[in-house]
């Protein structure tokens, strides 16, 4: 009987702990949802949130620079290879050689346009230029190995371009969110803004408190 009583007590304790853990998890989820919503409008310039946002922005800038450098490096390699190929043709005026020279010049122009960064350029614009250059490289009258090497560098430039435009898209989305948040905050009265700020800070403290409690109960 003692063994049975002990099992019942143990099960009761486990169920109790599970219930407490579930309660804390529910509070964390509820408070976090409200906290994140308020974070869009509350003035958090003096909070730790500013530091996190700043670090995120700095990371985006760093990744953008790396992607742009990779794109430039591979695109420059393509152009140099094409120019060397063009130079190897010399000044022969035979029709097939002349045609090949013009094809190379066309690809160089496409790659330069692809690698330039105009303000209104979209990823779709870059993709069209990449596809055009890739198709033209395939049609070049040159050694298959050389064409493959040129195409590989172009592909690498395009992959870096995709990463770059992905970062730019994220940046634009963040700017739009910040603008919307600023507009929403501007529409609130000072009293409402102050109330939201207090609620925001309270939620932050409660979330941390429940996380500490959750960690404790999970460790039992």
pLDDT of residue 186: 62
Lowest mean pLDDT among 44-53, 109-118, 157-166: 44-53
pLDDT of residue 8: 39
Alpha carbons 136 and 22: distance in angstroms, whole number: 62
Q: Give per-residue pLDDT as tens, 7-25.
A: 434 446 688 788 889 999 9
pTM (global) more than 0.75: no
Give percent of the chain with pLDDT exceeding 90.
35
Q: How is domain 60-187 classified at the CATH fold level?
A: de novo design (two linked rop proteins) (1.20.1440)
pLDDT of residue 2: 43
Q: Count other Cβ atoms within 10 Å, centred on residue 126.
A: 22
Q: DSSP string spanning 139-206?
A: T-SS-HHHHHHHHHHHHHHHHHHHHHHHHHHHHHHHHHHHHHHHHHHHTS-HHHHHHHHHHHHHHHHH
- Domain positions in the chain: 1-41+190-220, 60-187
pLDDT of residue 51: 52
Alpha carbons 55 and 49: distance in angstroms, whole number: 10
Q: Give per-residue pLDDT as tens, 135-165.
A: 999 988 888 888 999 999 999 999 999 999 9
Give percent of the chain with pLDDT exceeding 70.
75
Q: Give per-residue pLDDT as tens, 177-196.
A: 766 766 666 666 667 777 88
E strand or H helix that includes residue 3: helix 2-38
H helix count then E strand count, the chain = 6, 0
pLDDT of residue 156: 94
Q: Residue 140's closest CA among 79, 82, 73?
A: 82
Alpha carbons 18 and 14: distance in angstroms, whole number: 6
With 90 as the cut, is the pLDDT of residue 200 above it?
Answer: no
Q: At 116, is the secondary structure helix, strand, or coil?
A: coil
Alpha carbons 125 and 186: distance in angstroms, whole number: 37
């Amino acid at each position: 009987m003692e063994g049975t009583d002990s099992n019942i007590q143990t099960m009761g304790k486990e169920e109790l702990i599970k219930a407490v853990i579930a309660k804390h998890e529910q509070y964390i989820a509820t408070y976090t949802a409200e906290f994140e919503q308020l974070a869009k409008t509350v003035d958090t310039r003096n909070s730790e949130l500013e530091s996190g946002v700043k670090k995120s922005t700095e990371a985006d800038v760093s990744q953008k620079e790396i992607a742009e450098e990779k794109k430039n490096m591979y695109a420059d390699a393509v152009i140099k290879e094409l120019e060397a190929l063009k130079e190897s043709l010399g000044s022969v005026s035979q029709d097939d050689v002349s045609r090949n020279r013009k094809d190379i010049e066309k690809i160089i122009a496409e790659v330069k346009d692809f690698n330039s960064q105009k303000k209104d350029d979209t990823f779709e614009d870059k993709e069209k230029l990449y596809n055009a250059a890739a198709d033209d490289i395939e049609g070049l009258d040159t050694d298959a190995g050389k064409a493959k090497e040129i195409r590989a560098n172009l592909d690498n430039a395009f992959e870096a371009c995709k990463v770059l435009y992905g970062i730019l898209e994220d940046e634009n989305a963040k700017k739009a969110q910040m603008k919307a948040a600023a507009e929403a905050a501007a529409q609130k009265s000072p009293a409402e803004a102050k109330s939201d700020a207090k609620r925001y800070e309270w939620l932050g403290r409660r979330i941390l408190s429940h996380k500490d409690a959750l960690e404790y109960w999970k460790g039992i």
